[in-house]
Structure 1
């Protein structure tokens, strides 16, 4: 069998990496650059904020931060301060993005294994990306539309008394469908049930 050649990277954890995950850049530079092609890096830009997500180490993310700042300054003449870019571990922090609170939950599960006469317990840790529906901003927006009070108690809308029953049911169904479709990615849907309760009694 033919061996795949390896290259050496000066990282703390990724010391050796196969050549298929390395890219060579000779387009813009005089020198040959070896770029580590991480398949787990995601870039999102929304409302003037940029999010760079990776499952690499903290050291690798610090390097990416300075590479991005240098890239923006050199090619786009866009001056940016590195201290304005925060690096946070999702297992310790959560952030608000696109109407969700997003974080990483660590779940522990115990597995009992038995080999011949010996039995032992194995503790397995799994990481799960979790999204939570923020209840307070939703209640605030419903209170602005006079569906409920600021504390979340439903208010009857006197405008709806002039409408036919089928119109009220159609409006209720349309609002509930939009809320359910938008927040269907959340694993905890108790907040949606509270929103439906407020809309049903208003």
Structure 2
């Protein structure tokens, strides 16, 4: 599980959901009592990390397993087909993405888009090429 506030992970644990709720409660009390930072607890979200997730250079990667059960019936016989697919899921930190987009002059450092009249002359493939270079 990990706790997010305003899109940033601030606490991560492999504990149970009850443990994370307690940590969230203590974190909110600490912010309000000692730092005088008033937050809205309903805006702090607890999300579950997948069992096979790992963190590398600030990126969370995990393998999602999706089970699909299909019932097939031919004449009088019926049987189940169990199909499992695996998908690699990567969560990129937002700050590094905004930094890359601002270097390519697609947005400001704060993440606000930059509209340029020069872009109206570019074709769609040219704009996509600029994104691919990031």
TM-score w.r.t. the length of structure 2 is 0.41
Q: When you count strand as a share of all residues, which structure comes out higher?
A: 2
Structure index of larger Rg: 1
Q: Relative contact order: is structure 1 or structure 2 higher (C-alpha 8 Å, sep ≥ 6)? A: 2
TM-score w.r.t. the length of structure 1 is 0.29
